Structure 1
Amino acid sequence: MALPVDQLAAVPEAATRRDSLEIILEQDRTRLQELTPVRHQRMSATPFTFYRGAAAVMASDLAATPSTGIVTQLCGDAHLSNFGLFRSPERAMVFDLNDFDETHPGPFEWDVKRLAASMVIASQANGFDETTGRSMARLAAKAYRKTMIASEAKPALECWYARVDADEVVADLGDRFDTAASKRTQKALRKARHRDSAQALEKLCYVDLAGAHIKSDPPLLVPASEVAPSMSKVQLDDYFGEAFARYARTLPAHVAELFSQYSFIEAARKVVGVGSVGTRCWIALFGGARGTDPLFLQFKEASESVLAPFVPGCEYTNQGQRVVFGQQLLQASSDIFLGWVRAAGAEATVDTDFYVRQLRDGKGSVVVESLLPAGMEYYGALCGEVLAQAHARTASRHEIAAYLADAGKAFDAVIADFSVEYSRINIGDHGRLDAAVADGSVSSGALENPS
């Protein structure tokens, strides 16, 4: 028997839910210890930054609430800042989900709840009241529901190829800001078109007589020679060269042929995001036959999904392969250089799973903090539509659509109810971390290099 839709509004009981600070500190144990203070600083900044970094906390909470049992491939961390712009292989700008570190099978509504709750929390961060935030969450759920139901009548190939044109997004968003915010956001989205390896070379590197070198800006950007000072340049070149040779074997043959035209130059450890701080994340610079042909790849640690302890999933020999599978299944257009590798980090002897992608390929995102209510409503509905398109690419779309057709508008309302209640939980959890940082019981470090 299908779960009554009203039960989807339930949040975990305070007395039984696992302590959020305990979950965060447990994750710290497997991360680079010198970077965990940066993670704590970023998460403690606002309730929204806390939420962005607390996917594991919410996964634990969702697992303690009633579930539809309708399982599909999830993004796993579908908050509104994990949607954005990037270039398709055909060089068109598209708008889609863009973070799959936590992708894993799970009940479809977990992704919807993660998105809808982020709408309330981001609305509060922008100074909107709770009623407005609830409306934002309801509209996101409604867009998901309607798009998902509509997909049920479409051919599978039409669902597979459905995508959102970025030019339409940019144009529509421009009408939903005040003048100053509109200019800032339009500028940020236009800049995304020029974010590529050549732009990364200009920003992240300096050039001397020996060629291009990645800058040193610790702790956010640290060249491999500084991370592993005991290794010579020859040893580092051999280490990275061998790792990328194994990565190349995970690429389609025609892409591997393209990659073979590039030679490794240098690598550096880079701090990214909020939730990922402290995981092992590297960038690598490659050069083509001509000096004006750079390629930047990012290889990012892939650990077990935060959903894995709660939902049975496919077994992968490499967690990077899990991320690549989920991304290629859920995204309408994926980076051609997606692949995976296992390697001991240059700073450690422990083998680590990584997934690999281009560092910058037209990537950009909406400035959420600039959104006025009309802009937030539009953006939330757009993200709900895109999330539904992602789920509609899976074999579960008919079962999800049937459930939503039966639930009707009640689905939107209960997801909004859940989101408001969860935003209150999130505020309490953020307060606990903020207090722990303030009293020194949890370490905290500056976001930027003070120099």
Structure 2
Amino acid sequence: MSLSERIIESNKGLLSEMVQLKYQAMSENAFRFFRGTCDLFYQDLALWKAIPKSPLGWICGDLHVENFGSYKSDDGQVYFDLNDFDEAILAPVVLELLRMITSIFLCFDFLELEEVKAANMVQVFLKNYSTVLVAGKARAIEPRIAKGIIKTFLDAVCKRKQTRLLDKRTEVKKSKVVLSLEDERHFELEKDLKEALTAHLTDWLKNHDKSPYNFKVKDVVFRLAGTGSVGTKRYMFLLESLQKKGKYLIVDMKQSQPSVLNPFVKIKQPEWSCEAERVVFTQELSQHMPCALLSYTIFKGDSYVMKEMQPTEDKIKFRLIQDQYRDIYQVIDDMALLTASAHIRSSGRSGSAIADELIEFGKRTDWQQILIDYSQAYFKKVKKDYKIFKDGFESGLYAI
């Protein structure tokens, strides 16, 4: 199949009007194109016959530099960690590393930094990943122990108040607080769907052990967010406290699709009740502490991951630190620590390798240059594919 046929095929079954917005986002630059084509990455990787052997682990499946960020957990603490598990699966951990280090090459190219600097940073990532594996102890990053730009970043997000999130996401209409439709990422729902969602979440609030039971639903909209997940169903709810006037929560409800790695990973997987259970299971294993209200639900036959949206949620904006090489170095080093920690934390669970196997893998170095060479070559392929895609998008090839 041609590149355009592969892209169109991979987005079949998604909301067509939202897929057009996804294509528009993918046309911005090669890095965002890469983020929106995770399935193409694994289709191409399946053709490579020299993938080094590695232990099985619970991987997020779509690891790249934009899939780390800050969040508040149920314990009230703010952490910096992996934060996207839509494609999570039991697979050789080397797949996680290949996707991540390819993203480093693409991110540095986006930032207009020399390729040699990207190659050096990839070596930094793999070296620290291996060092943490060999130590065999999972670690976490929170404000008290963070360093450099991550500490500055976490200290800043910790100061954000709930009113910041409400100011961004809500407005007052007829003396009532509602979700704002002025935000270009928010879309109004048809009346019947809105009523069905409100009834569903009301039931969830009353009966689910992870829900904030002392809240009621005030409003709901369709929400657009991310790149790869654009086209799936995603809703945002405004909840109001039944006990404290003027206190609100915002909850995200995101549809889970089968992992794009399914056709390429021949490892026997657990039997999940739904796709969202897989996502939540992996996230709870991999993060030091899961994000607040993390759970899943079934609505009209589709499964959804639930979580609280918070003012402390954010990502490192690499464009703002592109001239600060030392800061970028620290961020990539921390991302390596967190990746290794996630693999250690989820070791020995439901088919994944035990920690001893990960430690032995970390001691080996024979696989590292092989990954670097592949990722460096593949990053150049992505740039060529992006140019083909952008030309096709601008010519109307992807229009409905």
Same fold (TM over 0.5): yes
- In the alignment, the residues of structure 2 paired with residue 244 and residue 322 of structure 1 have an alpha-carbon distance, to the nearest angstrom, of 24
Match of residue 131 from structure 2: 146
Match of 1:204 among 150, 158, 169: 169
Quote the offset at 1:221 in angstroms.
Answer: 0.6
Aligned positions, number? 387
1:422 aligns with 2:378: yes
Match of residue 269 from structure 2: 313
TM-score normalised per structure 1: 0.80
Match of 1:401 among 351, 359, 368: 359
Match of residue 61 from structure 1: 44
TM-score normalised per structure 2: 0.89
Match of residue 397 from structure 2: 441
1:164 aligns with 2:164: no
Quote the offset at 1:88 in angstroms.
Answer: 2.8
Q: Following superposition of structure 1 onto structure 2, how do residues 44-443 of structure 1 map, counting pairs within 5 Å?
A: 44-65=27-48, 66-68=51-53, 70-151=55-136, 154=137, 159=138, 162-166=139-143, 168-169=145-146, 171-173=147-149, 191-194=156-159, 197-217=162-182, 220-223=185-188, 227-229=189-191, 231=192, 236-237=194-195, 239-246=197-204, 249=207, 251=208, 253=209, 255-256=210-211, 259-289=212-242, 290-311=244-265, 312-344=268-300, 351-360=301-310, 362-370=312-320, 371=322, 372-393=324-345, 394-395=347-348, 396=353, 397-405=355-363, 407-408=364-365, 410-443=366-399
Q: Any idea what the Cα deviations from partners look like across 1:67-94, whole Å, max 9, x if unmatched?
A: 5152110011110110111223232221
Structure 1 residues 281, 324: closer, same or farther in 2, change over 3 A?
same
Match of residue 3 from structure 1: none
- In the alignment, the residues of structure 2 paired with residue 330 and residue 314 of structure 1 have an alpha-carbon distance, to the nearest angstrom, of 17
Judge conservation of contact 1:39–1:278 (CA < 8 Å) in 2.
yes
SS of 1:392's equivalent?
Answer: helix
Structure 1 residues 292, 246: closer, same or farther in 2, change over 3 A?
closer
Match of 2:15 among 21, 32, 35: 32
Structure 1 residues 274, 238: closer, same or farther in 2, change over 3 A?
closer
Judge conservation of contact 2:275–2:303 (CA < 8 Å) in 1.
yes
Q: Which amino acid aligns with 1:432?
A: I
- In the alignment, the residues of structure 1 paired with residue 58 and residue 377 of structure 2 have an alpha-carbon distance, to the nearest angstrom, of 26
Quote the offset at 1:217 in angstroms.
Answer: 3.5
The CA RMSD over aligned residues, in Å, is 2.4
Quote the offset at 1:306 in angstroms.
Answer: 0.9
SS of 2:66's equivalent?
Answer: helix
1:21 aligns with 2:14: no
Judge conservation of contact 1:148–1:389 (CA < 8 Å) in 2.
yes
- In the alignment, the residues of structure 1 paired with residue 175 and residue 285 of structure 2 have an alpha-carbon distance, to the nearest angstrom, of 42
Structure 1 residues 194, 147: closer, same or farther in 2, change over 3 A?
same
Q: Which deviates the most, 417-426 or 190-199?
A: 190-199
Q: Which amino acid aligns with 2:338?
A: V
Segments of 5+ residues of structure 1 without an aligned counterpart are 1-17, 176-185, 345-350, 445-451
- Give the fraction of aligned pairs with identical amino acids, expressed as a percent: 20
Judge conservation of contact 1:138–1:415 (CA < 8 Å) in 2.
no
Q: Any idea what the Cα deviations from partners look like across 1:4-51, whole Å, max 9, x if unmatched?
A: xxxxxxxxxxxxxx7543332123221111111211111111111111
- In the alignment, the residues of structure 1 paired with residue 311 and residue 356 of structure 2 have an alpha-carbon distance, to the nearest angstrom, of 34
SS of 1:94's equivalent?
Answer: strand
- In the alignment, the residues of structure 1 paired with residue 276 and residue 162 of structure 2 have an alpha-carbon distance, to the nearest angstrom, of 22
Q: Which ranges of 4 or more aligned residues in structure 1 deviate by more than 4 Å?
A: 188-191, 194-197, 246-249
Quote the offset at 1:106 in angstroms.
Answer: 0.8
Judge conservation of contact 2:205–2:215 (CA < 8 Å) in 1.
no
SS of 1:80's equivalent?
Answer: coil
- In the alignment, the residues of structure 2 paired with residue 33 and residue 196 of structure 1 have an alpha-carbon distance, to the nearest angstrom, of 36
Q: Any idea what the Cα deviations from partners look like across 1:169-216, whole Å, max 9, x if unmatched?
A: 4x51289xxxxxxxxxx5x65553255654322221112345211121
